[in-house]
Structure 1
């Protein structure tokens, strides 16, 4: 089964939360996945625009009108230093930017289409039988991601409940409140699906790199092949890797700038929430901060998890290349099947072409994204917290 068939539930989730306006178009003969299409004949497209231009603007409009009569000290706090106001304002702007980025990412249709076509070429080269014998764990990962996305979304709404009770009028229409909570949960699910989309995209690349080097019986027979056959196998593997690099480069073109913005905004939000919570609990009590204290604590951990998801997902393809592909290429070049000069030259050429930087994601070309950034980010958070608390 193609990995795109396994991704159907994930695509349905993205469509349901209004993140993706595309519809899966199956092949007329096999009824399997062929491509994504955008057409106003599909309900998915209309739902996308309904959420984007009706539900979300209506939510912010109703929210503004429902809180206009709330006490000023509950909306903006009282006697808080300008630092807290600025950091919370930046965090709010970061949330709006994240909403825009979630739309911008999926609208990069051409690059996403090229990435899908490259992966489809990989599946053709590997063969249906080989792929069916080595299924991915994308379904299990989606189930885990779905549970986490729904749990985090509902948890965020519950964490904000004390603030809503203080800010909203007491006699609000039940249907209006139902609409507010529905759209709010939809927004949080949309945010989580952005990270789940990022994770799934890079997992697919990592899976096929690993699948290319899976130690099955067919690959162990390479040792018994003659020079011509072994050369054909190596050329096929290099061609598959080239397609995977092409797909990864298209994904990097989609996520390069958003990953920089997301990491920056999440870093600033983590610092802001931690500082606001500590300031309210240990330095100066404030009604507004107290109403949002549970939200500050929960979002602090949620944002850290989102950062870890981004960094871990970006590292997956490169880790597979480093740990598996180079080891296998080195083993082939030093084995008995490449004793001829032409065989050794082909093996070394293949080894040179295999480079983890070809699948490495960079944040707008400024730095490479990966788990190696975690110590630096953690140290920066602690440093900024010490500076803010001292001032």
Structure 2
């Protein structure tokens, strides 16, 4: 491989496959999850890495069942904190957590108050040292719920405008034994009305979708009436919540991995076509229909989090939009030579577009990022590898559009 054109992204895990226990985008969201890219040539890794290692987040990344009365703060031992963004996803939907950086720039703490029970916290930190080097760090953790209680975590937040490919997905904080009882307590309706059907993936995740993608202008209402519902022996719900989504314009991005192009169609018309680099022969991009789960202007991608070891670690991947739980992204690429885009597939499974370090608005990646929202469909075709290239699994992100309507309806607990 040309060292000036390193492989990027994560689409097909080598040593593990996605199980049915999938966090919602929250889950699904994020929001929140393993990501990956290769280490670019010329990246000044020493100083940014030492600064990054100086960033400490308490609770640690990946912590589960954190006590609601526990400690929560962000610290940096050298340099100063430039920005700390924290979001909470739980019974009240997705909310920003207000906090303050100390006068010396070394510590961030939230406003007074305990951590919310049964919630998922996403933390994004940007710090700089005295020489101006920047480091970013991303972490997630979840808090405990009262013994025996469960909640359903959803994403995105209430009153969000979503794309026509959005699938309403709930992940429960505890395994559900009586899936029928829980399903009866949840409704997803649309205006104008269409049939919406549920599908269980295991005993912790319940998704809802219509036969075909939503029509633009549709209003979706999700009602969770779980308070007091028995999910099984000694397990009961503690949630009563109504969530509203509005479906925006109809947009689909189609990736032709053989032609190295990404074509954006909005309301049936071609909006733009961009040259891309997709997964290489050893790590081809999944074929099939995927949905944008989250959008981040900058994120870290580390091969250790998705089974590629130390193959790559990029601290500032720009314009990143997640497509799968296993780590497939569409994102900006500032380290590959211009001749790669539109000509060669060099990544570990992601779809890369030309970009600048820090993310340029006028670059192909920047323009696509600005044109896209959570819930937009991304279809990948003609991805090829050394062996068979499968279609993305229905529970890998919001891959349920790859199931027929009959297959989908068979996943209901109420037949």
TM over 0.5: no
Comparing both structures, which one devotes a greater share of its residues to strand?
Answer: 2
TM range (shorter): under 0.3
Comparing both structures, which one devotes a greater share of its residues to helix?
Answer: 1
Please report the TM-score for the alignment, with normalisation by the length of structure 2.
Answer: 0.21
Please report the TM-score for the alignment, with normalisation by the length of structure 1.
Answer: 0.22
**Structure number, greater radius of gyration:** 1
